[in-house]
Amino acid sequence: MRHNCPVPEYVGVGIADLLLDGQNPRHATVSGQRDILAALLRDGGNKLVNLAKDIAKYGLNPLAVPLVMKSSGGRYTVMEGNRRTAVLKLLLNPDLAAGHKVEQEFRKLAATVALPDEIQCTIVDSREEARHWLELQHTGERQGAGVVPWSAEQTQRFKGERGNHAERGLAFADTVASCYPDNKQLQTDLTAVRRDRITTLGRLVSDPDVRKALGFAFEDGRLLTHYPPAAMERLIARMLADLAGPITVTDLKVKRQRQEYLSKLATDLPDRALYRSGAEPLVRPPRPKERPKPAPPRRTATPPTRIFDGVNLANLSPRIAAILRELQQLNVDQVPNACAILTRVVIELAVSDVYDQKGWTHAQFRDAVKRCLTTIDPKQASPEYQAVRTGLQDGTSMFAVRTMHQFVHNQHFHAVPMEVRSIAANWAPFLIALDSLV
């Protein structure tokens, strides 16, 4: 039996009509609005100033709508969002901070910001109804029903910062995960390191002396090694087991400690006779064959400079086809950011055009992609759309809609030509299929 999902009720409320909650867990029970405000200023005045500065610069957080309960006289008591409400009241009337050490800060800020006449709030009928939402917001993950904070790895992927410890740790972890998929213990330890020790791993492999001793190198964000992948497996497995277990950041914080740790890895180092003067990408070792054949001479393949090569859109909007043709003329090695942004634009416009021509009700980009993919591949079994499916299921994947969103909206997210090529190549079959839907 299906049940209707309750829809929240929103209302615009003037700041003066919002009442701070005297039973707010942030302080002891207090009666009187000025006393409540004084308690918040006393226990976190500097933090309120920082929140006020953020509001003055960026506006109200659209992800945090106050939760309110009707009170007498057409006013509303704030169940969730008391700090934000206090800041708005102080910006509206800095005299409320008189006598507090942050008074002058609020007077200066109040002169720089124009507040809206009212703000959007969500209404509940009682404290009991509000309790459920407050528990989800403030009492931990609650097995996924509450707020699940990002891990160190997920935070680093969002920031997209290049060249720091966590970025090198991520590059190391991503490469190792794809290189040794059949080593179950290694993969288990790697999962633990990703969750809790990604920055510690990055600190270790960022040390040039460590890389030299162990045969690692980084180039353009990629992990390279001076030894064949099979020869490196034992060493890498040992490192991950240590980091997943007894070794913590305090054990590797300074160079002397890292040198001491290197001495413990001596028995796990690869055979020096296998050392290669030129470092090469760490890739999955080839599986042994019954009759090995001599390997052909190694050739350095030149990666394509164009993306979506050979993709033609005949049925979608002519404007989309025109943008795609312009994108196909760009050199991804020279302008990777432009190519990344236009890739997102072409795919999103194509999905939107399908919705328009099908007469479907428009949805968020990710949900719209999901509906189109279900229409294209109802059984969700076609291998050519596997990357798109992975991107819908895993928000941290290179192929995720969220990744393309970061290319456009995250000023710290820098596109890498190799990643842009891979994204375009894996989304190309989906784009071609979209063209065939209309």
Looking up tokens 């290694």 gives 186
d(CA 239, CA 33): 57
Domain with CATH 3.90.1530.10 in the chain: 9-144
| pLDDT value at residue 319 | 93
List, in order, residues 6 or more apart from 329 with CB less than 8 Å away: 306
d(CA 355, CA 404): 20
**Are residues 240 and 190 in contact, defined by beta-carbon separation less than 8 angstroms?**
yes
Looking up tokens 């901070």 gives 97
**Are residues 246 and 192 in contact, defined by beta-carbon separation less than 8 angstroms?**
no
| pLDDT value at residue 376 | 93
Instruction: Output the furthest CA–CA distance in the chain (Å, rounded).
Output: 88
| pLDDT value at residue 155 | 58
pLDDT tens for each residue of the chain, 438 residues long: 666 777 788 889 999 999 999 988 888 888 889 999 999 998 888 899 999 899 988 888 888 899 999 998 889 999 999 999 999 999 999 999 898 998 899 999 989 888 888 999 999 999 999 898 888 888 887 777 777 676 655 555 555 545 566 778 888 888 999 999 999 999 999 999 988 888 889 889 889 999 999 999 988 778 899 999 999 999 999 999 999 998 888 899 899 999 999 999 989 999 999 999 999 988 887 766 666 667 776 666 677 889 999 899 989 999 999 999 999 999 999 999 999 999 999 999 999 999 999 999 999 999 999 999 999 999 998 999 999 999 888 888 888 888 888 888 888 788 889 989 999 999 999 999 999 988
| pLDDT value at residue 291 | 63
Structural element, H or E, at residue 222: strand 222-225
d(CA 281, CA 428): 26
Interval 42-79: pLDDT, tens: 888 889 999 989 998 888 888 889 999 999 888 999 99
List, in order, residues 6 or more apart from 190 with CB less than 8 Å away: 173, 176, 177, 240, 244
Region 9-144: CATH code: 3.90.1530.10
| pLDDT value at residue 303 | 79
Under DSSP, the state recorded for 211 is: H
The amino acid present at 371, given as its one-letter code, is R
| pLDDT value at residue 157 | 54
DSSP structure string for 8-30: PEEEEEEGGGEE--TT-TTSS--
| pLDDT value at residue 189 | 93
| pLDDT value at residue 195 | 85
| pLDDT value at residue 218 | 85
DSSP structure string for 340-377: HHHHHHHHHHHHHHHHHHHTPPP--HHHHHHHHHHHH-
| pLDDT value at residue 144 | 78
User: Vertex 338, ends 335 and 344: CA angle to 5°?
Assistant: 140
Provide the 3-class DSSP secondary structure of residue 65: coil
